[in-house]
Amino acid sequence: MDVALQALESASAPARSFLVGRLGQLEDDDLHDIVEVVPEDRMSRWAGTFAVEAVRINRDRLLERLT
C-alpha cells in the first residue's frame, strides 16, 4: 500500500489520473475472471479466492486514499 501510494505521488498528474481511473474501473468480476484462467495445478481454488480478496481490499483502500 505504501509503495503504491509513493509511486502514484511521484507520477505526473496525467499519469496519476490515468492510473487512478483504471483502478476505479477494475471490477470484482474482472478479478474473478483473471484468476479463473489460472490452471488449478498452478493455483488452488482457495489461493485464487485469497488473491481476489487481497487485490479487492487493496484496490478499495487505494481508491479511498486517492479520491
Write the pLDDT tens digit of every residue in 18-41.
Answer: 999 999 999 999 999 999 999 999
Residue 53 and residue 7 in contact, taking contact as beta carbons nearer than 8 Å: no
Residue 1's pLDDT band (boundaries 50, 70, 90)? confident
CA 8, chain centre distance (Å): 14
| pLDDT of 67 higher than 90 | no
Domain around 44: 2-66
DSSP letter string over the chain? Answer: -HHHHHHHHHS-HHHHHHHHHHHHH--HHHHHHHHHTS-TTTS-HHHHHHHHHHHHHHHHHHHHHH-
